[in-house]
Chains A and B, each alone.
Chain A
Amino acid sequence: MNGHQKSWPIILVITILSAPLVLAYAYLFVDTITNSPPGSVVPHEFTLEHWSFLWQTRPGRLSIWRVTLNSLLFATTSAALVVVVSSMAGYVLSRLNVPGRSFFLAGVMLLHAFPAITLIVAIFIVLQMVGLYNSLIGVILVKAAIDMPLGIWLMKGFYDTVPWEIEMAGIQDGASRFTVWRKLVLPQVRPGIFALALFAFLLAWGEFILPQVLAPSGNAQVLSVYLASLIADDNNFDMALFKSVGLFYIAPVLVLFFVFQNYLMNIYGGGTKG
């Protein structure tokens, strides 16, 4: 920071540029509890009618709670899978003497950069063949697999910061490599595991295209697909309803992000798709 240079002109410019974004998110909140006269954006009355979706299930649709449960199940399971698989594989790539270690490391980097979404046609057909189409299990596996390379890469980074001497000491104390990993190394990377779990959860919570393609209907519908199908239904266009469902859907994300932003910023910077 250079104190002698004024920063207010820059702040002004960036404030103007950011205003629409802030406004859009503010209205996401406002519009769910108010009504505005047609052709105006200024609300004139308070109402809770837009939230009726919470207690009234529309004909032909799943209950919002069922869909929320699906989303929770999808996000937590896939996050758990990513964390378990990555914390295992990341340790190998960081520490263990396995044949072809550098090959695996290159492979993980390659997979991380490779856009897995291009494989969706093949995955779609395979899931249909093995009978996992339109089931949560199928999407969970696919989502976990796609997020896994980044998870491995991040976990490897976390393990790299654990001093070798801790492991050497553990081995000298008579512990097996497995015990050393489990009892001595894993506790050191707990913050990393937490950050990865949070990150993988948010990724899966927001995921749209995979459930849309691989589990669009039936009882496996998740919030993103549910909301998208509401919006796509031309016969019932109700922006306030969309926004209410949307706010319901985004609220956990915003809470988690604001509480844990320090954990998350680094990981997001480390590279996600988008």
Chain B
Amino acid sequence: MRILLDKFSKAFGAVSVIEDMTLEIGDGEMLALLGPSGCGKSTTLFAICGIHKVSGGRILFGDRDVTSLPPQERNVGVVFQSYALYPHMTVRENIAFPLRIAGKSSVEVARQVDEMAQLVHIEPLLDRRPAELSGGQQQRVALARALVRRPHVLLLDEPLANLDAKLRLEMRSEIRRIQLETGITAVLVTHDQVEAMSMCDRIAIMDAGRIVQIATPTEMYNDPHTAFVAGFLGNPPIAFLRGVVSGDAIVVPQSDVRLPKPNGARNLAEGTRVSVGIRPENFGPAGDVPVRGRISFVETQGRENLYDLMLADGSVLRSIQPVRSDIAVGDEVEWSVASDRIFMFDDKGERI
């Protein structure tokens, strides 16, 4: 089902957290709400499921306005970070709970619980209690309980945050599989860009209560609208240089770096301050604009190495390259930037 937030606002007392946010989530789509903590992504989630009352605007499920509906009547499935399984009930009772509340017959309940257990692969665990399950298993139970009512939308609040690295990888694909199999509209709230990029159809990146950009993961990676978005996506992260417009080039003061002015910066006045974002994979031995500096840090990542290069002005560029043994910390090197892949931002962080 299509979900629409129409000019949605939320304030806690006098503190406004979100103002006039509009967001549309397509039917069967999985959308990530990505942002740092305190950006309002959880607030948005709580507004969709109805735990928070909205201060302004509307929320539509399909064509139905649910803004003033209590959460019980919205039919939204939520998976919480802590899973929030009911500790005093078995897995079976946990999954059955929403159906029992809805007054389903016990035959019907048993049938649907079994169906769900099959879907999330927990059939052998049905008679255990949550305390006897691993984190990943609890997560699966939470998913089953959230989905058993056939909700209009599935909300996932940092579902992987409590799992260790290996399980996280496994559950990432499992959640996506289940979402695709059921064809449910889903919203994933996370602060982890890898989760957002790997699991979702689109990402809405949020900062200070606003949606900064909304796009597919690839689009967003290759075409960030702001410095914030560019900085948030990508691992290892993008590096920024402070530059000044000088003639038809951008120069980094107190260094010999001169970058060609991109098309969007044509009519920038002389001396305008800009910031230049360069991703680690676009800086290395192959490129067109040479940059000299001293290696300040080397991080071995196994297949690749990450090098920090300190420029004459003290700013740092990152480069990721296949492992090589000819470079050590303190070496002076001259590498190049692929100038067609750089992003330029004005002093407000907007893309030029």
Contact = CB atoms under 8 A, between A and B. Distances in A.
Are any A and B Cβ atoms less than 8 Å apart in their complex? yes
Given A174-B98, A174-B149, A169 B80 contact: yes
Given A173-B101, A173-B149, A168 B72 contact: no
Given A171-B51, A187-B88, A188-B88, A176 B72 contact: yes
Contacts of A173: 97-98, 101, 145, 149
A87 to B, nearest CB: 16
Contacts of B76: 172
A187 B93 CA distance: 14
Nearest to B73: A174
B80 A165 contact: yes
B236 interface: no
Given A173-B98, A174-B101, A179-B101, A166 B72 contact: no
Nearest to B78: A172
B51 A166 contact: no
Interface in A11-62: none
Interface string B61-79: 0000000001111011110
A175 B101 contact: yes
Contacts of B145: 169, 173
B77 A174 contact: no
A168 B88 CA distance: 16
Closest 4 A/B residue pairs (Cβ): A165-B84, A173-B98, A169-B84, A187-B88
A109 to B, nearest CB: 24
A184 interface: yes
A171 B72 contact: yes
Nearest to B97: A173
A163 interface: yes
Contact of B77 (A165, A172, A187): A172
A169 B87 CA distance: 12
A172 B101 contact: no
Interface in B145-173: 145-146, 149
A239 B77 CA distance: 70
Give the bracket for the number of chain B residues in contact with chain A.
Answer: 20 to 34
B14 interface: no
Contacts of B86: 166, 169-170, 184, 187
Nearest to B70: A171
14 contacts: A168-B49, A168-B80, A170-B86, A172-B71, A173-B98, A173-B101, A173-B145, A173-B149, A174-B72, A174-B101, A174-B149, A176-B72, A187-B86, A188-B88
A42 B241 CA distance: 95
Interface residues of A, number: 16
B15 interface: no
B102 interface: yes
Nearest to B77: A172
Interface of A: 163, 165-166, 168-176, 179, 184, 187-188
Contacts of B73: 174
A170 B88 CA distance: 13
A172 B70 CA distance: 9
Contact of B84 (A168, A174, A187): A168
Contacts of B88: 187-188
B82 interface: yes
A174 B49 CA distance: 11
Given A168-B80, A172-B51, A173-B97, 9 more contacts: A168-B49, A168-B51, A168-B84, A169-B78, A170-B86, A171-B50, A172-B146, A173-B145, A173-B149
Given A163-B82, A165-B84, A188-B87, A172 B97 contact: no
Contacts of A171: 50-51, 70-72
B49 A172 contact: yes
A168 to B, nearest CB: 6
A166 B84 CA distance: 5
A170 B78 CA distance: 10
Nearest to B145: A173
Nearest to A175: B101
A187 B85 CA distance: 13
A168 B70 CA distance: 12
A36 B303 CA distance: 91
Nearest to B75: A174
Contacts of A163: 82, 84
Contacts of B87: 188
A158 to B, nearest CB: 14
A174 B149 CA distance: 9
A168 B78 contact: yes
A165 B82 contact: yes
A176 B85 CA distance: 17
A199 to B, nearest CB: 23
A172 B146 CA distance: 8
A25 B146 CA distance: 59
A29 to B, nearest CB: 41
Nearest to B148: A173
A59 B76 CA distance: 72
Nearest to B87: A188
Interface in B94-125: 97-98, 101-102
A163 B157 CA distance: 15
A263 B93 CA distance: 29
A168 B80 CA distance: 9
Contacts of A187: 86, 88
Interface centre among A165, A166, A169, A187 (most CB of B within 10 A): A169
A174 B102 CA distance: 7
